[in-house]
Every structure is written in structure tokens, then in C-alpha cells.
Amino acid sequence: MEQASPKHILLGITGGIAAYKAAELVRLLVKRGHAVQVAMTPAATRFITPTTMQALSGHPVLVDQWEAADNGMAHIAAGREADLVVIAPATADFLAKLAHGLADDLLSTLCLARDCPLLAAPAMNKQMWANPATQRNIAQLAADGVALLGPASGELACGEDGAGRMLEAEELAEEIEAALQPKPLAGINLLMTAGPTYEAIDAVRGITNRSSGKMGYALARAAREMGATVTLVSGPVALPCPAGVTRIAVESAQQMYQEVMRRAGEADWFIGVAAVADYRVAQTSGQKIKKSAAPLALELVANPDILADVASLPDAPFCIGFAAESENLHDYAAAKRRAKRLPLLAANLAQSAIGADDNELILFDDNGEHPLPRADKPTVARALLAHAARLYRKGKP
């Protein structure tokens, strides 16, 4: 399976109050299987102790560039071992050092001597962030290929509210994971659907499908990690939008259809993961239908088939479909792929996947069936997209 193996991450901590978040970040990265080496500026040790960071990372913390370890070459050795350097928090002062190539302590020297990508998570007062000098430094870092993670807007340590807040540890962990993934989808404009649709009966009732949206959102996240530009047309779910993904919220199948068709012509790939209701009520009531002893008859009409219509476009994107069946999985999924002329279809038994955090898929393509063993949904998503990328490259002239 083409996904990132555990990596060596060098986490640099500078002297800001947001340094406390670095402890949770280390814990999350270690939990994901990565080896984390922490390096701190002397100022950072005033906010959180090296002892804490050593206990969480399992490695001695680098602070003093004059220590005799590694023959005085800790900045060279650590930089060569790292697959990624992350500075979190990155203060205005340290961003200025990076922008101008200064190296007057261990961490800044390490960044200058590194041979791997560098990510920085700014954290500072809103006036410091907005200052023209800081913005010039940010522009220079972007031109130098340094990726900035944030900052977010919100309540700051100084009591003010505005831009300058460091991203939360979970958000940073997701961004770091994305940076570590292979990029087989670089340059791909991906359009996809996820979640259920809701078809109103009256002001309070409706027809829907059982779908948590977890598989679709895992795919959106994985596709973005793998380099794609992702637009997610989503039905109503209780999930946060994956970082870096553009989400368009819809409710009904017709709304989803309109948003998809509006964008399908610009997409390289389309993935139909949403559990779209096959039918809607012909005539909805603007008010609640009062309960009575008499039978209630509803006339249902078919909703548009989003996947089929996208796949039949004159210059159709590379289309991937999903099928959730309750029985005869192999026969029904293979028939659906043939009927809609899809290069790839992913299928599972609905009763084993809806609402769960893990999944088990069978991929159907022109070469037959390819089972993906049960795993957490992000892992399954990466495996599916890796398979799809191979098919896509094979089919390109």
C-alpha cells in the first residue's frame, strides 16, 4: 500500500506561550508511530521544560549548540536524520531569523543546515502578525518553500481576539501527516460527494439514508494529503471539514446534483461517495402534516443519478463510484460498474460500515476484484486512492 511509513520528525519549539501545545503535538505524532526529536530555543525552556518534552518524545532534547554530543555537530546530525522539520510555535522573532538566514542558536542553525522540508506554525499577538515586517518575512519564507501552518483567528494569550493564534495540536498533526504523504495526485482537481441527502416530506419530516459521511471525509482528507485539490459537496453530517478541502454544504439530492454538475467540467476526477436518496416526495408540504388515523400516501419520484450523469459527460472526469449493498455484493457491484461504465467502483456491505470508524472494501475494475482488508477509514481511503492513481496513470496517453 502506497502510504507514508513512520518518519523522523524534528520538532522545534520557540519561546511563546503556545509552547504548551507542543507537548500534545509530540504525543499525537508519537502515537501515529513517528520518531520525534525535540529541539528548543533557550527562551522556549521558560515556557515548557525539556524534561517534559523528553518524557513525551522518548529522546533527549536538543537545546545547547555548544554541547559536546555528536562532536559539537548536533545541528548537522539532527538535520540529516529528519524527514521533516516543524517549528511550533514559530514566534515573530524566529520567523525573522528563518527569513534572513540567521543562525545564532541551535534551532536556527539546524534549520539552516537541514536537508528536508520545513513547516512553521506561527503564534504571536495580532499586531505582531499584521506588522509589515512580519508580513515581508512571511512572503520571503513562502518564496523559499517554507510551508506555513496557520495562524488561526481567535482569543489570544494577551486577551485580545484576532489572527495570530497557533493551530491546535490535532490540526497540526493532520497537516504534518499530509506533508509526509506521497503525492501521486499532485495536479489533480478532484470533485467528490459525501454524506447522506435529505428529502423533505414536510416542515419537520424527511427521507434520508443512513450515512455518517466518515468514509467520504476520510477520502477527501487522504486525497488532499496525496496532493489533490479537493472540492467536497457534502450532505448534512456532524463532521469537521478536512484541512485544505473546500466544502460545499447541500441538503437534497437535487441541490447536490446542481453543485456537482456546475463543477464537473473542471474536474479531473469525480468520486461519488454520498448516499444519495434514490427518491424524493413529489409534493412536499410547507407545514407539518398532522397525524391522523387515516393512511398517509406519498408519491415518490426518482432523483437524478449524479454519478451516471457525470460519467456520461462528453469529456468526463475519471469516475470512481461506491456501492453499499446488503446482499449479493459481488454481483450487484459488478453490474453497477458495467451499467455506469466506471473505471473503478468500491463496494462494501452496508451493515458492516455505516457509522463505523473502520471499513472493508472490494475494488472492481477491468482487471477484476481487489479486496482491501478491514482497517481504519483513513488507511482504507489511502489504499483506494493509490489503486485509483495507478489505474489513472495507466489509462493516460
Assign 40 to helix, strand or coil.
strand
Length of the chain, in residues: 397
Burial 17-31 (b: 16+ CB within 10 A, else e): bbbebbbebbebbbe
Cβ count within 10 A of residue 67? 12
Element (H, E) at 272: strand 269-272
What distances in angstroms separate CA 309 from CA 8, 99, 269, 322, one per listed residue? Answer: 45, 50, 14, 15
List phi, psi (to 5°) of 86. Answer: -125, 130
| CA 152 to mean position of chain CA atoms | 17
Q: Which three cell numbers stand for residue 169?
A: 495540536
| CA 56 to mean position of chain CA atoms | 25
Taking alpha carbons only, the member of 149, 131, 15, 37 closest to residue 83 is 37
Give me the sign of the Cα torsion angle 385, 387, 390, 394: negative
Catalytic residue, from 111, 158, 241, 319: name it. 158
Contacts of 347-354 with C-beta under 8 Å, sequence gap 24+, read: 347/322, 347/323, 348/323, 348/324, 349/324, 349/325, 350/210, 350/324, 350/325, 350/326, 351/326, 353/215, 353/324, 354/210, 354/211, 354/212, 354/324
Assign 218 to helix, strand or coil.
helix
Q: Which three cell numbers stand for residue 390?
A: 495507478
| Nearest-angstrom CA–CA distance, 326 and 81 | 49
List phi, psi (to 5°) of 93. Answer: -65, -45
319 among known catalytic residues: no
- Label the pairing between strands 118-122 and 147-148: parallel
Assign 255 to helix, strand or coil.
helix
Cβ count within 10 A of residue 68? 8
Residues acting as catalytic residues = 158
